[in-house]
Amino acid sequence: MSDIAEITLEGKSYQMPVVVGTEDEKAIDISSLRSASGYITLDAGYKNTGATTSAITFLDGEKGILRYRGYPIEQLAEKSSFIEVAYLLIYGSLPTTAELQDFSDRISRHTLVNEDMRKILDGFPSAAHPMGILSALVSSLTAFYPESLKSNQSDEEMELSIVRLMAKMPTIAAWSYKNSVGHPVNYPKNNLDYCSNFMHMMFAYPTETYETNPVVVDALNKLLILHADHEQNCSTSTVRLVGSAHASLYSSVSAGISALWGPLHGGANQAVIEMLEAIKADGGDSKKFIEKAKDKNDPFRLMGFGHRVYKNFDPRAKIIKKSADEVLAALGVKDPILNIAKELEEAALNDPYFVERKLYPNVDFYSGIIYRAIGIPTNMFTVMFALGRLPGWIAQWKEMRENKEPIGRPRQVYVGETERNYIDMEKR
């Protein structure tokens, strides 16, 4: 017999079913609590609230486990490509050769964006942050594909929206960068794979043929795979919440991009590079910054250390660290901030302050170093995160719609004034 949770309120007890996931995660289903007792539960930041059941990503922060559709992130990062992982996340199983080819071909056919979108892009000042442009242009896709607004899209229509978004996001992302440097945009080359095409649109000069480097493409594939989904979090839950009102895929993902833009969420990889550069400019004494991070009177924190859910290690950080070494060696890049990063990591991992608090390098500690080595400018780091997270957002939006989840509508505990009468202006 399955467990039942008993909640006693004002001397009366209420029985709530216990829900157990396939990895033995346990939850109390309190959905009937309010109608039965008048009580709601209060949980600011949703730290202990499951907003959904989901079959996409499993994460165990204590054990450092991350799996997409059951497959360990380590295996996917080593053996798979980003497009294959996107297929896995969105459709639930690894594709056959024919399915993967078909998915890639369909994406390749939709990489162009409507020329009118360039006029919207032209309207942005060159100082505009690429994340703002990305969010705005993804939302503007609804104007070019109004059928995406239908709340009762057929399977074929939903599929077309998904493929279009996967296809156009790299084009829009690269164009947002081109706008920031005042360069003409590059059009997609559909004979290239997903990552090579993105690098071509970012870096090709009109007068030269851009040669993609397999080391760079491999590193980019890995980084995007590692960011592809992370179960419920600020941006992903935003996508599900906006989508639960039957907003289109494009509007929902645009909202997710805005959520990711926040420095507490997607901005940490940029903060790591800025911190490492500041340490270098200060003479490179990493120990001094370790002491600053430990000083409770100093607001400084070691960026790229610590994680809300990973308390032993971040499995993504392990993979990325190895990849950073390989990429820098293969490209012959000697980045002095890599040495600072290594010193900092070693010093922190041997310091009781960090050991006791279980503060380990997270995914963002090394990702910025790789992005830098392959030429991605710092203001594009969060855009790269968005590009990687896209299949996760799509999969979560699709799952929410297919499960026919109800519109998201949290409750609150009101703590404002109780009823009072309107006071006429002259009496205030």
Residue 287 binding ligand CMC, by CB under 6 A: no
Tell me whether residue 34 or residue 308 sits nearer to ligand CMC (CB atom).
Answer: 308
Active site residue 307: yes
261 within 8 A of 267, measured Cβ to Cβ:
yes
Tell me whether residue 287 or residue 301 sits nearer to ligand CMC (CB atom).
Answer: 301
The region of 36-44, 157-165, 275-283, 302-310 touching ligand CMC under the rule CB under 6 A is 302-310
Report the 10 Å Cβ neighbour count for 37.
15
Residue 257 binding ligand CMC, by CB under 6 A: no
Residue 293 binding ligand CMC, by CB under 6 A: yes
Residues counted in the chain: 428
Residue 305 binding ligand CMC, by CB under 6 A: yes
**Cβ 290 to ligand CMC, closest distance in Å?**
9
Q: Which of 200, 227, 230, 307 is catalytic?
A: 307
The region of 50-58, 80-88, 158-166, 356-364 touching ligand CMC under the rule CB under 6 A is 356-364
The first and second tokens of residue 158, run together, are: 């939903």
Out of 308, 346, 375, 410, name the contact with ligand CMC by CB under 6 A: 308
Out of 109, 150, 288, 301, name the contact with ligand CMC by CB under 6 A: 301
319 within 8 A of 226, measured Cβ to Cβ:
yes
d(Cα 240, Cα 87) in Å, to the nearest integer?
19
Tell me whether residue 83 or residue 275 sits nearer to ligand CMC (CB atom).
Answer: 275
Query: Edge-to-edge strand order for the sheet containing 12-20?
Result: 4-9, 12-20, 26-28
Q: Which residues of 44-76 are buried (b: 16+ CB within 10 A; e: fewer)?
A: eeeeeeebeebebbbbebeebebbbbebebeeb
Find, among 398, 395, 376, the residue nearest to 385 by Cα.
Answer: 376
Residue 229 binding ligand CMC, by CB under 6 A: no
Query: Edge-to-edge strand order for the sheet containing 57-60?
Result: 57-60, 65-68, 71-72
Out of 226, 363, 384, 387, name the contact with ligand CMC by CB under 6 A: 363
Active site residue 102: no
| Interstrand relation of 57-60 and 26-28 (parallel, antiparallel or unpaired) | unpaired
d(Cα 361, Cα 343) in Å, to the nearest integer?
12
Tell me whether residue 167 or residue 386 sits nearer to ligand CMC (CB atom).
Answer: 386
Out of 304, 315, 388, 392, name the contact with ligand CMC by CB under 6 A: 304
Residues in the interface with ligand CMC (CB under 6 A) total: 16
Out of 242, 249, 255, 268, name the contact with ligand CMC by CB under 6 A: 268
Residue 315 binding ligand CMC, by CB under 6 A: no
**Cβ 192 to ligand CMC, closest distance in Å?**
29
Residues in touch with ligand CMC (CB under 6 A): 265, 268, 293, 301-308, 357, 359, 362-364
Active site residues: 307, 364
